[in-house]
Amino acid sequence: MDNSRIARLFNEVADLLDIRGENPFRVRSYRTAARTVEDHSEDLAAVLRDGGDLTALPGIGKDLAAKIAEIIETGKLGFLDELKAKLPPGLPELLRLEGVGPKKVKLFFEEAGVDSIENLDRAAREGRLRGLDRMGEKSEAGIIRAIENYRKHIGRFRLDDGLAAGAKILDSLKPVADRVVAAGSLRRRRETIGDLDILAVSSDPSALTDRFVNLPGTASVPARGPTRSSIRLEGGLQVDLRVMEGDEFGSALLYFTGSQAHNIALRRRAREMGLKVSEYGIFRGEEKVAGETEEDCYRALELPWIPPELRENRGEIEAAEDGRLPRLIELEAIRGDLQSHSTASDGKESIMEMGRAAGRRGYGYIAITDHSRAVRVAGGLDEKQLARHLEEIERAGEKCPGVRILKGVEVDILADGTLDLADAILRECEVVVASIHSSFRLPRKEMTRRIVRALTNPHVNILGHPTGRMLLRREPCDFDFEEVVKAAVGEGVSLEINGHPARLDLNDVLARRARELGARLAVNTDAHSSAQLDLMTYGVFTARRAWLEDRDVINTLPLEELLAALNRPTR
DNA sequence: GGACTCCTGTCCTAGTGCTCCAAAGCACT
């Protein structure tokens, strides 16, 4: 999990080099390296420790490999500190403003002495920017607006919020469009989205654009053109609309779905084949060879269609070329949920209600896994209470034909790695999910030891929300992921992909790595009400982004096989 | 700064729209 820190430092270097107007290819090297490191599923600290060669990674040469090693060994990057010393600390933040790039930052700093957002705001309001090169009153007003927006809406939005907003917008636009779909990171099911991308075909484009820029809840209209427009919703989410012709729909959808890295890789491949890809189609010279559907476009590039969740340029194009694309797991393959809560702890509904809801979803089983006593605010159970609760689960199961309600618990992993309940009662459970709900900030070594110790308890079946992160709110715990996964594999413990859209834990990159290391995954909802069983869809999105197939996920198994799979190997 | 070819230098990841100011920056995937 240090990889993301390395990536962050490299991106900071790139920002500073960019502002200084240095060789753009050097800047790109740092950005490419940041992305390589971020997407790399192995912990680079572990790679280094095992004597691995970092220059084997694409775009990492001798120099950057040494810088990665420096960051891992010292926690710092001297080169970055040198750069920072040469420029005011507030400059990189200016790049976050809409309409401001490195050239403008340089201009504002050198010509107007601007070195922070506060400064820039003042300069703009005092009319000191309009005299600068290529700046006028409109640009100045744009800066003020960009700062207001930035202050109001820093950050990203959760996937579930994006999907909800997207559904409303699509409903509003459907009456004036022949076709309208959401693309972008939403279609790729990224865990968070920065904006919303809508693609439409309409026989009356100006009516469509009119409707779009006047959607209810629109706070401002940053751009409006015949084919491309943007609005910002009151909640801060930016929505981009692209209007295309019907015979361009496939190439436009491909382009607008991205990711950027996937698009660039495809276009490069096209160029090598003597083709040109744009949102308007795939062309050989003047001749259009594809564009109506995505399938056509990929076919023109001699590739099978690639599922949107994989389009991150993380090896999917190579896999497609070699016929190695995974048969991604589908929601329909899920046969049950292995983490859910009832009124016995902090759930909203009874065991019976949860069981029946599982039956309505066509599940063969559901595990009721209420909290253990350490989670006091959630009404966690002690041994005696859990014993009675397990009996209740059994009784409820008898009245719930068709669905097996599994006796379970979500037992807390205490700070020292012991579990919050005695083995004698854990033994009575069919599903033991072990999770961390406190002491999130232990030092790395201690945290690693803590989790590994918990996994060695012979009754634990699943490690719940393994990193403990909360999207946009809480950073993941720091531990040696590889070591934990290896311990889980050795102990026969599955790792959870918690499908709650606030968690999505494990995330796509880590889940993919876990599978590579031989781990089995359990995709659960952590439902606290029967309606929340629907959150399974988000867990499956993440599993798909992790390249998982049915066989990688234990709760695609029929009941008998699942029970066998949950049995810990005897040693 | 990397990769490749060659040993010192060259090229490097695509393509297009919008805005504001009149050629280029920035944005978008």
Kindly state whether residues A125 and A213 are assigned to the same domain.
Answer: no
Distance, Å, A149 CA → B4 C1'? 45
Q: Which nucleotide is nearest to A141 (CA to C1')?
A: B20
Helix, strand and coil content of chain A, in percent to the nearest 5, comes to 50, 15, 35
Residue A177 is predicted with a pLDDT of 93
CB A357 within 8 A of CB A538: no
Domain stops at, among A217, A244, A271: A244
- % of residues, chain A, pLDDT over 90: 66
- List pLDDT tens digits, range A400-426: 999 999 999 999 999 999 999 999 999
For chain A, how many helices (H) and strands (E)?
A: 24, 17
Q: At A474, is the pLDDT very low, low, confident or very high (cuts 50, 70, 90)?
A: confident
Distance, Å, A63 CA → B11 C1'? 19
Q: Which nucleotide is nearest to A257 (CA to C1')?
A: B29
Domain stops at, among A152, A182, A203: A152
Residue A100 pLDDT exceeds 80: yes
Residue A151 is predicted with a pLDDT of 78
Distances, alpha carbon A196 to alpha carbons A192, A232, A399, in Å: 11, 10, 46
Residue A441 pLDDT exceeds 90: no
The residue among A314, A340, A265 whose CA lies nearest residue A544 is: A314
**Is A571 part of a structural domain of the chain?**
no
CB A433 within 8 A of CB A493: no
**Is A326 part of a structural domain of the chain?**
no
The domain total for chain A is: 4
Report the CATH number at residue A163: 3.30.460.10
Residue A448 is predicted with a pLDDT of 96
Kindly state whether residues A89 and A189 are assigned to the same domain.
Answer: no
- List pLDDT tens digits, range A162-196: 999 999 999 999 999 999 999 999 999 999 998 99
Q: Which two tokens stand for residue A160?
A: 């579930």
Distance, Å, A140 CA → B21 C1'? 13
Nearest residue (CA) to C1' of B24: A134
Nearest residue (CA) to C1' of B12: A25
Burial of A564 (0-12, 13-18, 19+ CB in 10 A): exposed
Kindly state whether residues A488 and A360 are assigned to the same domain.
Answer: yes
Kindly state whether residues A171 and A270 are assigned to the same domain.
Answer: no
Report the CATH number at residue A481: 3.20.20.140
Could you please report the per-residue DSSP string of A505-527? BS-HHHHHHHHHTT--EEEE--B
Q: At A153, is the pLDDT very low, low, confident or very high (cuts 50, 70, 90)?
A: low
Burial of A314 (0-12, 13-18, 19+ CB in 10 A): buried
Distances, alpha carbon A22 to alpha carbons A66, A108, A114, A126, A534, in Å: 21, 17, 20, 31, 50
Distance, Å, A100 CA → B25 C1'? 9
Distance, Å, A514 CA → B28 C1'? 33
Nearest residue (CA) to C1' of B23: A134
Distance, Å, A309 CA → B25 C1'? 32
Kindly state whether residues A206 and A271 are assigned to the same domain.
Answer: no
Kindly state whether residues A195 and A304 are assigned to the same domain.
Answer: no
Nearest residue (CA) to C1' of B13: A264
Residue A369: φ, ψ to 5°:
-125, 80
- List pLDDT tens digits, range A506-562: 999 999 999 999 999 999 999 999 999 999 999 999 999 999 999 999 999 999 999
**Is A19 part of a structural domain of the chain?**
yes
Distance, Å, A64 CA → B8 C1'? 22
Contacts by A86-90 with C-beta closer than 8 Å and gap 24+?
A86/A20, A87/A16, A87/A19, A87/A20, A88/A115, A88/A116, A90/A115, A90/A116, A90/A117, A90/A118, A90/A119
What residues contact A144, with CB distance under 8 A and at least 6 apart?
A121, A124, A125
Distance between CA atoms of residues A18 and A333, nearest Å: 48
Nearest residue (CA) to C1' of B15: A278
Q: How many Cβ atoms sit within 10 Å of the Cβ of residue A348?
A: 15
Residue A75 is predicted with a pLDDT of 87
Kindly state whether residues A338 and A447 are assigned to the same domain.
Answer: yes
Kindly state whether residues A356 and A497 are assigned to the same domain.
Answer: yes
Residue A142 is predicted with a pLDDT of 86
Q: Containing domain of residue A106, as a range?
A: 3-152
Which one of A25-34, A128-137, A379-388, A464-473 scores highest in mean pLDDT?
A: A379-388
Q: Which two tokens stand for residue A290?
A: 């594809």
Q: At A569, is the pLDDT very low, low, confident or very high (cuts 50, 70, 90)?
A: low
Nearest residue (CA) to C1' of B11: A25
Kindly state whether residues A17 and A96 are assigned to the same domain.
Answer: yes
Q: At A451, is the pLDDT very low, low, confident or very high (cuts 50, 70, 90)?
A: very high
Q: At A40, is the pLDDT very low, low, confident or very high (cuts 50, 70, 90)?
A: confident
Q: Which nucleotide is nearest to A104 (CA to C1')?
A: B25
Q: What is the mean pLDDT of chain A?
A: 92
- A492 conformational bin, left if phi > 0, alpha if psi -120 to 50, beta if neither: left
The residue among A197, A200, A222 whose CA lies nearest residue A145 is: A222
Residue A377 pLDDT exceeds 80: no
Distance, Å, A99 CA → B27 C1'? 8
**Is A145 part of a structural domain of the chain?**
yes
Average pLDDT over residues A144-149: 84
Tell me if residue A57 falls in helix, strand or coil: coil
Distances, alpha carbon A308 to alpha carbons A166, A183, A354, A465, in Å: 17, 9, 33, 25
- List pLDDT tens digits, range A333-364: 999 999 999 999 999 899 999 999 999 999 99
Residue A263 pLDDT exceeds 60: yes
Kindly state whether residues A81 and A137 are assigned to the same domain.
Answer: yes
Q: Which nucleotide is nearest to A187 (CA to C1')?
A: B29
Residue A223 pLDDT exceeds 90: no
Strand B: which positions are within 7 A of a protein CB?
1-3, 11-22, 24-29
Burial of A256 (0-12, 13-18, 19+ CB in 10 A): buried
Domain stops at, among A120, A152, A184: A152
- % of residues, chain A, pLDDT over 70: 99
Ranking A146-155, A238-247, A263-272, A531-540 by mean pLDDT, the lowest is A146-155
Ranking A38-52, A438-452, A458-472, A532-546 by mean pLDDT, the lowest is A38-52
Distance between CA atoms of residues A432 and A402, nearest Å: 22
- List pLDDT tens digits, range A488-500: 999 999 999 999 9
The residue among A105, A120, A136, A127 whose CA lies nearest residue A16 is: A105
Kindly state whether residues A411 and A550 are assigned to the same domain.
Answer: yes
The residue among A512, A546, A554, A570 whose CA lies nearest residue A188 is: A546
Distance, Å, A35 CA → B9 C1'? 28
Residue A570 pLDDT exceeds 70: no
**Is A253 part of a structural domain of the chain?**
no
Report the CATH number at residue A94: 1.10.150.110
Ranking A54-63, A432-441, A471-480 by mean pLDDT, the lowest is A471-480
Kindly state whether residues A314 and A359 are assigned to the same domain.
Answer: no
Residue A356 is predicted with a pLDDT of 96
Report the CATH number at residue A312: 3.30.210.10
Q: How many Cβ atoms sit within 10 Å of the Cβ of residue A191?
A: 22
**Is A315 part of a structural domain of the chain?**
yes
Q: At what angle are helices A117-125 and A102-112 packed, to 10 degrees?
A: 70
Q: How many Cβ atoms sit within 10 Å of the Cβ of residue A337?
A: 30
Q: Which two tokens stand for residue A340?
A: 């859910």
Distance, Å, A376 CA → B29 C1'? 47
Ranking A136-140, A146-150, A446-450 by mean pLDDT, the lowest is A146-150
**Is A493 part of a structural domain of the chain?**
yes
**Is A219 part of a structural domain of the chain?**
yes
Residue A489 is predicted with a pLDDT of 97
Q: Which DSSP state fits A372?
A: B
Q: Which nucleotide is nearest to A58 (CA to C1')?
A: B2
What residues contact A261, with CB distance under 8 A and at least 6 apart?
A35, A312, A313
